[in-house]
Amino acid sequence: MKRNDENMDSNEDCSLNSESSSVPSKDPVQVFCRLRTLPEDCQSCVKLISPTTLTLTASSKIGRKEYNYVFKHIFTSYARQRQVFEHVALPLLEDLIKGKNGLLLTYGVTGSGKTYTLTGEPSMPGIMPLCINTLFNSIADYQAQKFLIKSDRMNGFEVQGENDALKDRLLEVKMSTTKMKTVKRGGGDVKNNYENDGTKLRCVNENNLYAVFISYTEIYNNTVYDLLDETSGKVLQAKIIREDSQKRMYINGVVEVEVKSAADAFELFCTGQKRKRMGHTVLNADSSRSHSTFNIRVVQLQKDRSQLMMGQLSLVDLAGSERCSRTQNTGMRLKEASSINNSLMSLRTCLEILRENQLNDANKLVPYRDSRLTLLFKNYFEGEGNIRMIVCINPSIEDCEENLQVLKFAEMTQDVKIPKAESGYTTYKYKTPSKTTKQTPSIQAPATSKIKKVAPFGPKIPSVKLNMENPQENIVVLDSLIKVLHARRQKRERNRQELTKRERHFRKHLLHVHQESVLNKSEIRRLKALLKKEKQTNQKLNIKITDLETSNENFSANTKELQDTIRTLQNTIDEKNMKINQNRLEREKAKQKFALQSEMMSQELDDKLRKQRARLHAAMLAKEAKIQKVKEVLESDAMFACASKQEVEAPVQSEIKIVQETTSSATTVPARRHRRSRSAGEVWLEHNAIKPVALGTVLQPSMKKRKSVSKLKKASDVTNPRQNKYCLLAQEADAGGELETKLYKGDIVPTCGGGAQVIFNDVECLRQESPTGTRAPSTPSRK
């Protein structure tokens, strides 16, 4: 029944192949999503819409935004490990037993549950232990004897004879006994106690003999290491990725161990796990610092031993992408993180280019060689087998931004279509066991085949029967016997000589072989030393390359950061320039506004000034009229003054009272007035009455520089620019007949028409009174 299934399957493959002989059919990469359980106090940024759709809510400065993502299937945080295994890994395991290849990747942010999904715990086994248990449950009764199928260390397998296999088994037993003697093994730390529920696959071909091979490798800082390599001691040796004769990538010299039980496989896993680079980070106490690949190869030998078929399942636990700002990594951890992120970026780039090529029907070169990770799995992307990916998501709100990137990548990956493997089986030629292996392992002389068969020891000895009755006859018989014996003796002698000759020849040959062997041994020693030296150089160069690559990456990251800073600074400068220009424009506008305002104000002021001038001019005219009047009064008084001169000149004991009336110029004079220059001091224009009454010593105003006139005859008397003060002396009799002398003082102010105006700002008054007050009203008195 199972056989029929398989035939059907292969027929199906054949029909598919014949249908699509021109255009190879392609399958998309199947991407699944698994949500991790969230602590109770944590807020989730992921909402499940359906078993295939989820919504991620991202909050940013701009606001909240929702993104929808669709996957083949989404496992909630309640999904059990077995559920994930059955959905994702079981189909790959079935393919494996049919000789097909499969790649299963776990991808996600650090601490999102990739290792948990792939490895799990003893009570909750993950995909790897479930695969191993299911595989051995299914093939347990159909296993080939150990070492019958052997890795050729060049990515292939060969079949060896029963005797060779037996020898290898004996050697293994011997070595394990020695190992047990020398190495104290703590049996407790081997975790081979993963729960086994006895699940079996249905598609096992009962006619075949199966052999399972395990290899466990890691890519750390973009260098490949073999986690099962015990020859290199504590420090793992870097391995090289090579291409085999069928252009398949493989790790050169990787240790592939044939296992006969699940326990053996788990023991190997634990051995490798101890060597795997794990580290403590802020986000995960047991963080994988490398991408690890647990490789299961199942080789089937047909019963007639004519063909071998091989299938391979690679379980890859990718290291988590991490943002250095969150992990706060420094030193080695930072270098690891940078290498992890770079290799994940390479994976992303390769898948993006593959998708681009498929969408645009282009043939852009996919940069598989950019990273060891992409180089190792190159064949899968080119159609060597099925690819499935589990995207692990920690729905915590802190992981939101990184999850967004992961989900974007996962969504894009689903669009990548991988060509179907042309045949489910990879067929290897059966290597007929060498003749020597069929012979018993006895020691053979090297020249045996060349030696001629040794001749019998002469003629056969005849049977002798003596006749006692006829002695003559006996003599004849004995003679012939002697002859035979003689011949045999001669023959023996010849044989001995031949033997000696051959012995000598053999010795000579042996000596030659020994010499050759010694020479070969020394040559091997020399070559070994050379190889060791080469290896050391190679290792040093690898370290150097890794260092250089890391520094190059750091340098690129720095350059990028600097470019970002420059861009930010440029933006700031642009913004500032814009502000400066804006300010300049505003200032320009303000200037114009101010100029307009000042023009308006100056116009207003001019208007006001004009009005003020007009008012002052009017006032001046009024004053001039008044002065004219005063002048006329003075002139009319002059007559009277002459008449009373006698009387006035007589010494009079009188009380002189000087009343100084000061008029505040501020009240009469406008604030803005152009006075004549006073640099030369005050220069007075003293305008006296024509014949003033003599006053004696009183009321002598202090005027150092003055010009006295009794009559203003011409305008230049006042407009003379050297004069800035004006003083008018006027005398008149009051109602009581007393004489009153007044000094009208003022400033000479130039007018805009080129003339001058006098602004009176001070009046000094001298009144003379008789102490008795009995003076005739006609008598003038001084005041």
Ligand X SMILES: Nc1ncnc2c1ncn2[C@@H]1O[C@H](COP(=O)(O)OP(=O)(O)OP(=O)(O)O)[C@@H](O)[C@H]1O
Q: What is the spatial distance between Cα 15 and Cα 21, in angstroms, rounded to a whole number?
A: 10
- Contact track, ligand X, 6-45, x by CB under 6 A: ------------------------------xx--------
SS3 track for 106-150: EEEECCCCHHHHHCECCCCECHHHHHHHHHHHHHHHHECCCCCEE
The answer to whether the annotation marks 114 as part of a ligand binding site is yes
Q: Which is nearer to ligand X, 113 or 161 (CB)?
A: 113
By CB under 6 A, what part of segment 375-404 binds ligand X? 392
DSSP letter, residue 44? B
For ligand X, which stretch binds (CB under 6 A), given 106-114, 261-269, 330-338, 713-721? 106-114
- Give me the long-range contacts of 405-411 (CB less than 8 A, separation at least 24): 405/321, 406/107, 406/108, 406/109, 406/112, 406/321, 407/33, 407/56, 407/67, 407/69, 409/107, 409/348, 409/351, 410/31, 410/33, 410/69, 410/71, 410/107, 411/31, 411/69, 411/70
| 111 part of the interface to ligand X, by CB under 6 A | yes
Q: What is the spatial distance between Cα 215 and Cα 194, in angstroms, rounded to a whole number?
A: 19
- Contact track, ligand X, 485-514, x by CB under 6 A: ------------------------------
Q: Which is nearer to ligand X, 298 or 340 (CB)?
A: 340
Give the binding-site size for ligand X (rule: CB under 6 A): 18
514 residue type, one letter: H
The answer to whether the annotation marks 321 as part of a ligand binding site is no
* Closest of 620, 656, 662 to residue 741, by C-alpha: 656
Question: 721 and 680 in contact (C-beta within 8 Å)?
Answer: no
Distance in Å, CB of 119 to ligand X, minimum? 8
Q: What is the spatial distance between Cα 31 and Cα 96, in angstroms, rounded to a whole number?
A: 19
- Give me the long-range contacts of 280-283 (CB less than 8 A, separation at least 24): 281/110, 281/322, 281/327, 281/329, 281/333, 282/326, 282/327, 282/328, 282/329, 283/110, 283/111, 283/322, 283/326, 283/327
- The SS3 of residue 387 is strand
Distance in Å, CB of 304 to ligand X, minimum? 46
Maximum separation of any 2 CA atoms in the chain, in Å = 242
| 328 part of the interface to ligand X, by CB under 6 A | no
Q: Which is nearer to ligand X, 121 or 473 (CB)?
A: 121
Q: What is the spatial distance between Cα 303 and Cα 308, in angstroms, rounded to a whole number?
A: 10
| 315 part of the interface to ligand X, by CB under 6 A | no
The answer to whether the annotation marks 111 as part of a ligand binding site is yes
- Pairing type for strands 385-393 and 101-108 reads parallel
| 113 part of the interface to ligand X, by CB under 6 A | yes
Query: What angle is formed at CA 320 by the lines to CA 560 and CA 547, rounded to 5 degrees?
Result: 50
Q: What is the spatial distance between Cα 738 and Cα 760, in angstroms, rounded to a whole number?
A: 25
The answer to whether the annotation marks 440 as part of a ligand binding site is no
| 292 part of the interface to ligand X, by CB under 6 A | no
Which residue in 287, 293, 312, 768 binds ligand X (CB under 6 A)?
287
- Pairing type for strands 725-733 and 683-687 reads parallel
| 295 part of the interface to ligand X, by CB under 6 A | no
Distance in Å, CB of 195 to ligand X, minimum? 16
Which residue in 102, 108, 272, 383 binds ligand X (CB under 6 A)?
108
- The SS3 of residue 154 is coil
By CB under 6 A, what part of segment 213-242 binds ligand X? none
For ligand X, which stretch binds (CB under 6 A), given 92-100, 103-111, 516-524, 554-562? 103-111
Question: 77 and 38 in contact (C-beta within 8 Å)?
Answer: yes
- Contact track, ligand X, 550-579, x by CB under 6 A: ------------------------------
| 112 part of the interface to ligand X, by CB under 6 A | yes
For ligand X, which stretch binds (CB under 6 A), given 194-202, 283-291, 496-504, 709-717? 283-291
| 116 part of the interface to ligand X, by CB under 6 A | yes
| 114 part of the interface to ligand X, by CB under 6 A | yes
Q: Which is nearer to ligand X, 108 or 272 (CB)?
A: 108
The answer to whether the annotation marks 115 as part of a ligand binding site is yes
- Contact track, ligand X, 72-91, x by CB under 6 A: -----x--------------
The answer to whether the annotation marks 112 as part of a ligand binding site is yes
Where do contacts with ligand X occur on this chain (CB under 6 A)? 36-37, 77, 108, 110-116, 284, 286-288, 319-320, 392
Could you list the residues known to form a binding site, using ranges. 108-115
Could you list the residues known to form a binding site for ATP, using ranges. 108-115
